[in-house]
Amino acid sequence: MDSRTIMHVDMNAFFASVEQQSKPSLRDKPVAVIGAQQRTVITTASYEARAYGVKVGMTVLEAKKLCPDIIFVAGNNKKYTDTCTRLVRLYADYTPLVEVYSVDEAFLDITGSLYLFCEPEDIAVQIKRRIRRDFGLTCSIGVGPNKLLAKLAGSMQKPDGFTIIHPGAVSEILEKLPVSELCGIGSRLERHLEAMGVKTCGELGRFPVKELENKFGIVGKRLHQMGLGVDESPVVPVEDTPDAKSVGHSMTLEKNVSNGEDMERYILQLSEMVGRRLRRGHYSGRTIALTLRYSDFHTFTRRCTIKEYINDGFDIYLAALDILRMIRLKYAVRLLGVSISNLVTNYCQIPLFKKDRDRVAIVQAMDEINDRYGEFSITQARLLDRYQHKGVIAPAWRPAGIRKVNY
């Protein structure tokens, strides 16, 4: 497996860079992209803003304190997702094995492409040149014998960098590298490892596997491999992505709600969105989950599993309402989410009663109209005045398949 050559492409300050390219007056200025809703945080900051310490997740107020001259731009998810889709087409000119890791990162397995392009540097130079010419954007590219090391290489030089980790250099690079530099080891895991006397990747690679397994379970073996720079996971193109395990939508509300009627309307909207996406992917499910976040940010999910597999938004709504009625709300709610899991594909049950058959026909007709004229062109009457939610791009978003959401 380590005879592979994997490339990681990471767009630099993606959303902010797109906005700076779109609007010349923003170029070379500290820019922070925020969500389009009122309640929002920083989703990306330009390198000029990062120099002041502005980071993803900060509030507008926090960012303004650090950088008084910062310019806030409301994000445009359509721009970013379309750019990602076109970037993926560009990558596909170099290999068919392209895995979209997130909206601004991708892995390319270029092992087989080196017969055509000779060196990884040749591919990297071409990709960087085309991205700069066609989009006015820059990226950092890392190359390594696997995905873990390719991503690590890419992170070593930002912005506009190119780094290769050769197989022979892995031990030397990892020896003194802090464990948190590896993708998959966050601050919590870092603290646990430090408590065991492990601070560097070198120490992690030498630590007894059994002790890691005792502490972390099955993850322990994976951690040990990471410490050694071993990662056998393949680059998975979007068409080979495994079937979805769940489909869901959530939204942060403009104002906290405690009114039952308002909450039901939001749940209906979310349920319709989930139903649409399920039907598009020919999925049905029978475990419905309702997620609530209180005004104090306490978040919880309640689930129920029903007998039948469903994908009609109204049926999902009724199941979600049943869950809501079992919850004694303590505070006002700031976020609601509806999801469905326990999925099957191409489930077909011919309804017994006429009214149910009519319902299926109505849903199908509505789908055809919404496919033709756009989402919510025809909808439940209660949703005519629906919440115009402009969310952030979900981490699970992909340019094709069930995970593709049109923003």
* Contacting residue, 21, 111, 246, 380, with another protein by CB under 8 A: 21
Assess 406 for contact with another protein (CB under 8 A).
yes
CB within 8 Å of 25: residues ≥ 6 apart: none
Q: Confirm if 179 and 227 have CB atoms less than 8 A apart.
A: yes
Assess 331 for contact with another protein (CB under 8 A).
no
* Contacting residue, 86, 166, 191, 282, with another protein by CB under 8 A: 86
* Contacting residue, 29, 65, 79, 221, with another protein by CB under 8 A: 79
Measured distance between the N- and C-terminal CA atoms of the chain, rounded to whole angstroms: 38
* Contacting residue, 83, 95, 146, 271, with another protein by CB under 8 A: 83
Distance CA 152, CA 346 (A): 40
Give, to the nearest 10 degrees, the angle between helix 313-325 and helix 260-280: 140
Beta carbon of residue 59, minimum distance to another protein (angstroms, whole number): 22
Assess 24 for contact with another protein (CB under 8 A).
yes
Q: What is the C-alpha radius of gyration for the chain, rounded to an integer number of angstroms?
A: 24
Nearer to another protein (CB atom), residue 346 or residue 406: 406
At residue 404, the 3 state secondary structure works out as coil
Q: Which of 157, 167, 153, 123 is nearest to 1 (CA)?
A: 167
Q: Is 105 a catalytic residue?
A: yes
DSSP category for residue 294: E
Beta carbon of residue 73, minimum distance to another protein (angstroms, whole number): 10
At residue 107, the 3 state secondary structure works out as strand
Assess 372 for contact with another protein (CB under 8 A).
yes
Beta carbon of residue 247, minimum distance to another protein (angstroms, whole number): 19
Of 19, 48, 105, 203, the catalytic one is 105
Is 85 buried (19+), middle (13-18) or exposed (0-12) by CB count in 10 A? middle
Beta carbon of residue 179, minimum distance to another protein (angstroms, whole number): 39
CB within 8 Å of 236: residues ≥ 6 apart: 99
Assess 347 for contact with another protein (CB under 8 A).
no
Q: Confirm if 282 and 346 have CB atoms less than 8 A apart.
A: yes
* Contacting residue, 28, 53, 69, 78, with another protein by CB under 8 A: 78
Q: Which amino acid is at 37?
A: Q
Assess 364 for contact with another protein (CB under 8 A).
no
- Going residue by residue from 128 to 167, which x/- string records binding to another protein, judged by CB under 8 A? ------xxx-------------------------------
Assess 126 for contact with another protein (CB under 8 A).
no
Q: Which residues are catalytic?
A: 105
**Footprint of another protein (CB under 8 A):** 18, 21-25, 78-79, 82-83, 86, 90, 134-136, 370-374, 377, 406
